[in-house]
Amino acid sequence: MAPLTWDVFCKVIDNHGDLGVCWRLAAQLAERGHRVRLWVDDASALAWMAPGGAAGVEVRPWRGEPPTGLPRGDVLIEAFGCDIPTDWVLTVAPRPGPWINLEYLSAEAYVERMHRLPSPVMNGPLAGRTKHFFYPGFTAATGGLLREPDLLARQARFDRSAWLQHHAPGWSGEQVISLFCYEPVNLGAWLDHLRQPDQPPTHLLVAPGRPTAAVRQHLGDADRHGPLHITWRPHCSQHDSDELLWASDLNVVRGEDSLVRALWAGKPLIWHIYPQDDGAHHAKLQAFLGWLGAPADMCAQHAFWNADVPEPLPAHDPHNWAPAVVAARQRLLAQSDLLSQLLAHLGGL
């Protein structure tokens, strides 16, 4: 495909997830020779998420009135239903062209039904244009997941011991857990379990922001609690975040971007899914665990982490989860990545 100019629009709700996905998409497009204008209402997290930027990606502010004298774009990406105003559409894409609504990730059955469906605009200034829904997903009937061509090679070269010696001060071979969560109601019970004298030594790598605040609310600022040793992590780039996941024995993740990266890491994981007021996240979580083929204790642990009320910690052994995660990773690797599918989709329009 000849190089195109892509306009990717992103509205930040949780900057680790929505902006993370949009940046990965923009950077991978640029690596394939395309030009990308990433329009975002709050790009501040890119200072640590992608500190070096990416050649071919121009980050532009999305607020107020659209700019004037803008060169025409070729492809319009509306990420996560961010609802681009009409005047902005007419400015960045003055001629009808491909308009993609890149949707949220889910393993629920509706994703396969809705993937690639057209949504024509019937009236108003945009009448005659057609938006296509593009759904990421976990099966061959969906749009797949973002994956860099060199991801496996990078992981194969990774030196876990050297990384932990540098990033987890005091690590001496104990199990490593990375923690990136919201404020689960049962977090305190989980932390209390890890610090019991009869538990194996654990090095907990806690993400900054809300995870650090939640852990400190329960344990205080100390980094030693019996067999539990805590390292308070700083913000890090997407590249460094991958290495964190590779280095850990268990990854607790939350947003769409971190879930996908944890799957590529191939390690046991817990998904603390974003809670929704109507409880829809529970169905979404169950669909994911069903696709994953999660063993019973992994499902029970996910119910504990995503419970609405305090519950006792169920018996579990994350080592037993590894075969299901590795098998799921192999299924995903056998499928085409999201960007390749997106380019093929445009070629067929």
Q: Are residues 101 and 118 in the same domain?
A: yes
Say what the pLDDT of residue 164 is.
Answer: 98
Q: Are residues 214 and 249 in the same domain?
A: yes
Residues 286-292 have a mean pLDDT of 98
Q: Are residues 138 and 168 in the same domain?
A: no
Give the count of domains, the chain: 2
Please report the DSSP string for 268-299 in residue order. Answer: -EEE-PPP-TTSHHHHHHHHHHHHHT--HHHH
* pLDDT tens profile 193-215: 999 999 999 999 999 999 999 99
Among 280, 267, 55, 303, smallest CA distance to 155 is for 267
Residue 23, number of CB atoms within 10 A of its CB:
26
Q: Are residues 342 and 251 in the same domain?
A: no
- Its domain, for residue 39, covers 5-146+336-347
CATH of the domain at 307: 3.40.50
Residue 156: strand, helix, or coil: helix
Write out the two tokens for 289: 């665990």
* pLDDT tens profile 238-279: 999 999 999 999 999 998 999 999 999 999 999 999 888 888
* pLDDT tens profile 300-344: 999 999 999 999 999 999 999 999 999 999 999 999 999 999 999
* pLDDT tens profile 78-94: 999 999 999 999 999 99
Say what the pLDDT of residue 349 is.
Answer: 76
Q: Are residues 131 and 93 in the same domain?
A: yes
Q: Which residues are catalytic?
A: 18, 256
Q: Are residues 141 and 157 in the same domain?
A: no
Q: Give every strand in the sheet of 5-10, ordered side by side.
A: 57-61, 35-40, 5-10, 75-79, 99-102, 130-134, 118-120
Q: Which of 13-22, 155-164, 268-277 has the highest mean pLDDT?
A: 155-164
> Above 80 in pLDDT, residue 115?
yes
Q: Could you tell me which residues come within 8 angstroms of residue 72 by beta carbon, excluding any fewer than 6 positions away? A: 5, 92, 93, 94, 95
Q: Are residues 246 and 303 in the same domain?
A: yes
Q: Are residues 165 and 263 in the same domain?
A: yes
% of the chain at pLDDT higher than 90? 95
Q: Are residues 84 and 224 in the same domain?
A: no
Q: Are residues 102 and 137 in the same domain?
A: yes
Q: Are residues 69 and 136 in the same domain?
A: yes
Say what the pLDDT of residue 277 is.
Answer: 83
Residues 120-129 have a mean pLDDT of 95
CA 236 and chain centroid, separation: 14
Residue with tokens 């519950």: 311
- Name the amino acid, one letter, at 221: D
Q: How far is CA 287 from CA 216, 282, 284, 330, in A?
A: 32, 9, 5, 19
> What gap in Å lies between CA 136 and CA 134, rounded to an integer?
7
Q: What is the mean pLDDT of the chain?
A: 96
Among 110, 154, 7, smallest CA distance to 66 is for 7
Residue 84, number of CB atoms within 10 A of its CB:
25
Q: Are residues 72 and 42 in the same domain?
A: yes
